[in-house]
């Protein structure tokens, strides 16, 4: 196992049952926030698992109290070394690789949402084929709060999870949804007490691991065509997010979040 997953140092791996691989996002001191390298590893890991003959099912969870706090500010495409076109291209590819990497993975993925899941972290939580949340876990998309379009995964799948009315409410206001509410809204598959979460995720993963592998994977594959059909809409959300990151609105919003102050936005809007 060392060799296969050696390049994934932001993630921890174990095999809690035959054919089950557990992946743990492993930066607990930062609520498992993703730096650029961590994001990249979450883009690549699903293809590595597909190539792993010992794994039939994977579990994705977070180390410590959080599931994943999303991208850290340092990894956001706010400017820097690259020019805006290159930064936009790189970030667009990075966002779509993470999302479509999970959609196109052959093997089923179970998420055990043990604590806060935000931004790209929420994308990973909800794009798992079976999502199991601790009842008190907090789910927040968080894009609008930092002044950018909800471009990570939401436009691909939320309308097919909790419906448009709930989707827009949570995506536009960035109100927190608990795991319990998420299950009630059909956003996640199951919600269980935090104490039972890892056991339940493992139970479900073992059930999948003991089922006919081709049938499981083809059932996933076919259902995901509903998502692939919305790839242009998702791509659009990601492209608009990259445009937003270049401007004053997102800078003001990020500053306000960092300083816990009230943001001020330019008077005029062109959209």
* 136 contacts 178 by C-beta, under 8 angstroms: yes
Residue of the chain from 51, 74, 199, 223 that contacts a copy of itself (CB under 8 A): 223
Task: State yes or no: residue 149 binds a copy of itself (CB under 8 A).
Answer: yes
Minimum distance, C-beta of residue 17 to a copy of itself, in the bound complex (Å): 14
Task: State yes or no: residue 177 binds a copy of itself (CB under 8 A).
Answer: no
Task: State yes or no: residue 44 binds a copy of itself (CB under 8 A).
Answer: no
The window from 25-33, 113-121, 194-202, 244-252 that contacts a copy of itself (CB under 8 A) reads 244-252
Handedness of CA 101, 27, 126, 171 (dihedral sign): negative
Task: State yes or no: residue 122 binds a copy of itself (CB under 8 A).
Answer: no
Residue of the chain from 28, 64, 101, 263 that contacts a copy of itself (CB under 8 A): 263
What is d(CA 173, CA 181) in angstroms, rounded to the nearest whole number? Answer: 16
Contacts of 133 (CB under 8 A, 6+ apart): 113, 125, 139, 179, 180, 182, 183, 188, 190, 191, 192, 197
Minimum distance, C-beta of residue 85 to a copy of itself, in the bound complex (Å): 2
* C-beta of 30 vs 184, nearer to a copy of itself: 184
- What's the start-to-end Cα distance of the chain, in Å? 50
Give the 3-state secondary structure of residue 232.
Answer: helix
Task: State yes or no: residue 228 binds a copy of itself (CB under 8 A).
Answer: yes
Task: State yes or no: residue 239 binds a copy of itself (CB under 8 A).
Answer: yes
Contacts of 179 (CB under 8 A, 6+ apart): 113, 133, 134, 135, 136, 137, 139, 188, 191
Task: State yes or no: residue 220 binds a copy of itself (CB under 8 A).
Answer: yes
The window from 30-38, 60-68, 112-120, 188-196 that contacts a copy of itself (CB under 8 A) reads 188-196
DSSP one-letter string for 8-38:
-TTEEEEEEETTEEEEEE--GGGTT-B-HHH
Scan residues 72-111 and list those touching a copy of itself (CB under 8 A). 82-90, 92-93, 106, 108
């Amino acid at each position: 196992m060392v060799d296969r997953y050696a390049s994934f140092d932001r993630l921890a791996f174990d095999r809690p049952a035959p054919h089950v691989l557990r992946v743990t996002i492993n930066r607990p001191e930062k609520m498992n926030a993703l730096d650029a390298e961590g994001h990249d590893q979450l883009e690549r890991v699903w293809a590595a698992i597909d190539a792993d003959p010992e794994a039939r099912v994977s579990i994705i969870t977070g180390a410590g109290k959080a599931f994943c706090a999303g991208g850290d500010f340092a990894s956001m495409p706010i400017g820097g070394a690259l020019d805006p076109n290159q930064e936009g291209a790189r970030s667009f590819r990075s966002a779509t690789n993470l999302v479509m990497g999970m959609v196109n993975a052959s093997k089923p993925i179970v998420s055990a949402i043990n604590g806060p899941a935000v931004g790209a972290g929420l994308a990973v939580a909800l794009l798992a084929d079976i999502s199991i949340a601790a009842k008190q876990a907090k789910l927040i998309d968080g894009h609008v709060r930092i002044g950018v379009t909800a471009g990570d995964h939401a436009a691909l799948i939320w309308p097919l999870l909790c419906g448009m009315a709930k989707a827009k409410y949570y995506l536009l206001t960035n109100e927190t949804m608990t795991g319990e509410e998420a299950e009630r809204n059909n956003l996640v598959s199951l919600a269980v007490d935090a104490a039972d979460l890892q056991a339940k995720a493992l139970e479900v993963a073992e059930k999948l691991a003991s089922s006919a592998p081709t049938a499981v994977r083809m059932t996933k594959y076919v259902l995901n065509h509903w998502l692939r059909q919305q790839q242009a809409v998702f791509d659009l959300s990601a492209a608009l997010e990259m445009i937003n990151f270049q401007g004053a609105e997102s800078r003001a919003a990020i500053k306000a979040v960092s300083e816990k102050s009230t943001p001020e936005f330019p008077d005029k809007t062109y959209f």
